[in-house]
A = this chain, B = another copy of it.
């Protein structure tokens, strides 16, 4: 039997969720990390778990929203001169309730969590306007996390479908969800997602900014982008991908590639830079961005707009020139007490993976690395959850803190519900395999409990301990359907 339990922290409002598996023998129950959240009525949204923690620190006030789409609402924002970020508190030596929450989740001390955040090696992405979220931590000293991308597009899907995908992705183990919606209903879709999400929500604001200028990169301005950031900040987006490392001077480095610039954000900014032969405004206005991010405790996910889109282009000059710039930007964000993680590739053959991790650690001073796979071969469209789970497991074992999933539909079409699940499961496998390889404390207990159940033919225990109990049970029943066979 599997059920949700809560472990109380040092105060009664710190209640940390776990999935507890009760076994059919006398062994103690096994507690598994649980991302599924308390469950919500989509019309109402989740309760604001963190509202009191946010307000009691006294550095945030409720003010009228400033964004065009949020106008008329009341939102939380830093008081003048305050920096209500987890990095600020960690540097002050303060353990916040958020830090204690993740310490219990991860089985470490709150002080360890605080120290890792203070050093910039870990982040807790939680916007003060997303009080519904259950705190989680991204850093190489912690369990490897996974992100699932969802989002409406111009050609298909509804808001209700996307909220359903959010719930579905976190049911199977998504640690964060990125809403990559395009099309007409971006703001409303994101509102529904944030209000119903117990996990941090990430976005790529340039996508929405581009919608505002009808898809023409040349219509982008700092003012338009800034307004988009403010709207999303006020809604509660926890981390934002910002392609501030795509510099004008980097763009020509990608000219001779087999697959050019494949990052959507990267292509947009490259087009903008080239058209006016001018420097990327995300770079020139970066300190202003930092000021805004600090006011809401939004984390930077510094985007890799020049990531390779094929095995041929892996680890090239364009990619590494950008990575080095991301390191400079990390330092600047830290001046503002803003939390940072760094995005990484992409498409990389196995023997070139380590160089990515090594250079990222060196140039970005151990800020958490957040990679898309990488895919270890280009020959298997339809199976890129597998080509990339291989790369994700390897780079995870080397210290990458979060793995952005890839679904079977990558390069071919838009993921449906089944694809989201397939992507999440493949990445939970990669993340857990990496945890084992890192010797992460307690990670192997899960494997050992399942292996023992398997050896003793305790089928029900084996199913309940599985990453996907439904599939394990169904596959077993397909050839050996008798109940007797399960207890034999």
* Residue ranges of A at the interface with B (Cβ–Cβ < 8 Å): 155-156, 258-260, 262, 309-312, 347, 349-351, 376-383, 385-387, 389-390, 393-394, 397, 408-409, 411-414, 416, 425-426, 428-430, 432-434, 436-439, 444, 446-448, 450-452, 454-455, 462-463, 465-468, 471-472, 474-476, 478-480
The one of B378, B386, B429 in contact with A451, judged by C-beta atoms closer than 8 angstroms, is B378
Structural contact, B436 and A381, CB atoms closer than 8 A: no
The one of B382, B397, B413, B479 in contact with A468, judged by C-beta atoms closer than 8 angstroms, is B382
Q: Nearest-CB distance from A428 to chain B (Å)?
A: 8
Contacts of A436 in B (CB 8 A): 311, 349-351, 376-377
Beyond A310-B447, A379-B447, A386-B425, 18 extra complex contacts between A and B, CB < 8 Å: A156-B479, A258-B448, A258-B455, A311-B436, A311-B451, A349-B444, A350-B397, A376-B433, A376-B436, A376-B437, A379-B432, A379-B446, A379-B465, A380-B468, A386-B429, A390-B433, A409-B475, A413-B480
Bound-state Cα–Cα, A258 to B446, Å: 13
Interchain residue pairs with CB less than 8 A apart (11): A260-B455, A311-B447, A350-B437, A376-B436, A377-B447, A378-B447, A381-B462, A382-B468, A411-B454, A412-B476, A413-B476
The one of B347, B379, B390 in contact with A466, judged by C-beta atoms closer than 8 angstroms, is B379
Contacts of A416 in B (CB 8 A): 478
Number of copies: 2
Structural contact, A350 and B433, CB atoms closer than 8 A: yes
Q: Nearest-CB distance from A427 to chain B (Å)?
A: 10
Structural contact, B444 and A311, CB atoms closer than 8 A: yes
Structural contact, A378 and B409, CB atoms closer than 8 A: no
Bound-state Cα–Cα, A433 to B377, Å: 6
Structural contact, A452 and B258, CB atoms closer than 8 A: yes
A377-B432, A467-B379, A468-B382 known; A312-B390 Cβ under 8 A: no
Structural contact, B387 and A390, CB atoms closer than 8 A: no
Contacts of A260 in B (CB 8 A): 455
Q: Nearest-CB distance from A82 to chain B (Å)?
A: 43
Contacts of A385 in B (CB 8 A): 386
Structural contact, A312 and B447, CB atoms closer than 8 A: yes
Q: Nearest-CB distance from A369 to chain B (Å)?
A: 17
Contacts of A478 in B (CB 8 A): 409, 413, 416
- Which B residue sits closest to A156, measured CB to CB? B479
Bound-state Cα–Cα, A21 to B451, Å: 45
Contacts of A394 in B (CB 8 A): 350, 390, 394
Q: Nearest-CB distance from A57 to chain B (Å)?
A: 38
Which of A351, A382, A393, A397 gathers the greatest number of chain B CB atoms within 10 Å? A382
Bound-state Cα–Cα, A379 to B446, Å: 7
Contacts of A379 in B (CB 8 A): 429, 432, 446-447, 450, 465-467
Bound-state Cα–Cα, A408 to B389, Å: 16
- Which B residue sits closest to A471, measured CB to CB? B382
Bound-state Cα–Cα, A387 to B462, Å: 16
Q: Nearest-CB distance from A140 to chain B (Å)?
A: 15
Q: Nearest-CB distance from A356 to chain B (Å)?
A: 14
- Which B residue sits closest to A451, measured CB to CB? B310
Which of A309, A378, A463 gathers the greatest number of chain B CB atoms within 10 Å? A378
Q: Nearest-CB distance from A263 to chain B (Å)?
A: 13
Contacts of A376 in B (CB 8 A): 393, 429, 433, 436-437
Q: Nearest-CB distance from A254 to chain B (Å)?
A: 12
Structural contact, B382 and A466, CB atoms closer than 8 A: yes
A386-B426, A480-B413 known; A380-B467 Cβ under 8 A: yes
Q: Nearest-CB distance from A395 to chain B (Å)?
A: 11
Q: Nearest-CB distance from A426 to chain B (Å)?
A: 6
